[in-house]
Amino acid sequence: MRVCFRADASLEIGSGHVVRCANLARRLAADGHEVTFVCRRLRGDLADWLTDEGFELKTLPFDPGQAVAEPADAEATAAAIGQADWLIVDHYALGNAWEQIVSVSTKQLMAIDDLGRRHACDLLLDQNYNSPAHAHYPTAGPSECTLLLGPQYALLHPDFAALRDHSLAKRRNSPSRLLVFMSGSDAGNETCKALEGIRRSRLRQAHVDVAIGANNPHRQAVERACAALQSATLHIQTARMAPLMAEADLALGGAGSATWERCALGLPALVTVLADNQVHVAQAVERAGALRVLGRSAELTAGDYARVLDAIDAAGLTAMSAAAATICDCKGAERVSGKLMQLSAAPVHAHTTSYA
């Protein structure tokens, strides 16, 4: 089976779309399928990372003066992939119109989304937890696209499954080791704000692991902030995110796809909302007891981080860890790969349309 992915990463977009696609691609490759990525060259893209990870990559040109146009992108993607058994798109700028054009180049089409948008696809994945967007997708049935909804389908790196039992057995009674990871690009530099909050708090002597992407535009400022702490280690484009989470007692992070990584390892978290589409999901996971939402990044100060850190206690950490572990079990990529193979074996029908 030939599977092609269309996803982008950049300083503005972030890295999450490409990273979660790569996690599914690893599983598909392990199952013996041919995998290809199609990505547009953008400032802060992950083209080199994808090739270093061993994936075939076809690139589309970067035009800094022009926004993504769905028809043109669809035609360029179709030309790049030729023919595929599955085309998987994970991109907020590409939707129903793009899918209808590009469908001629693939037997079946899958969309990964969390915005409740209109799609023309055979399989739709929204890995978020109790999102209002879920209500906008049609009920799955013989004439509709198949829906995979919820963090049981979260696309995680296999390292998380390998470390889950070890991490869940960890006693997190005292936050002596912290992890700060806001996002790969962290365009707003929330990392430095969180580090200053740690420096002002009673946890200033804790060991702090700080993770940023290779294209983080605030790298020098983050390096200075790490130097101001007694024991901080900076990790740039690390391949050890799962071990860092397993070793941590508490995370300070964004409310994006790393939410499911933290839940998979039972890692308690203080979460900052970095984008509008993260609000409802963060609140839902907070209601489940798995994290505490601090607020939107624009509204938070270093003092806010310090005050919350000073109030953390062992009972709160233990409760968050137990709740988080029930939300995601690390088997999402396995489930999605199995569904792709199941649908590939079924009679192929015209791409259906779902409506927001």
Mean pLDDT for the chain? 91
* Interatomic CA distance for residues 225 and 192, integer angstroms: 6
For the entire predicted model, the pTM comes to 0.87
Same domain, 299 and 340: no
Q: How confident is the model at residue 353 (pLDDT cuts 50, 70, 90)?
A: very low
Which pLDDT score, from 0 to 100, does residue 309 have?
A: 97
Same domain, 283 and 320: yes
Domain carrying residue 30: 2-156+331-354
Same domain, 139 and 35: yes
Mean pLDDT in residue range 85-101: 95
pLDDT tens string 143-165: 578 999 999 999 999 999 999 99
Q: In what order do the strands lie in the sheet with 177-181?
A: 232-236, 207-212, 177-181, 250-254, 269-273, 292-296
Same domain, 255 and 145: no
CATH number assigned to the domain comprising residue 268: 3.40.50.2000
Same domain, 72 and 44: yes
Same domain, 320 and 335: no
If one counts the domains in the chain, the total is 2
Contacts of 157 (CB under 8 A, 6+ apart): 23, 26, 241, 242, 261
Which pLDDT score, from 0 to 100, does residue 351 have?
A: 53
Same domain, 186 and 293: yes
pLDDT tens string 244-272: 999 999 999 999 889 999 999 999 999 99
Is residue 206 predicted with pLDDT exceeding 80?
yes
Same domain, 290 and 337: no
Same domain, 102 and 209: no
CATH number assigned to the domain comprising residue 81: 3.40.50.11190
Same domain, 310 and 349: no
Which pLDDT score, from 0 to 100, does residue 139 have?
A: 52
Same domain, 149 and 180: no
Same domain, 93 and 121: yes
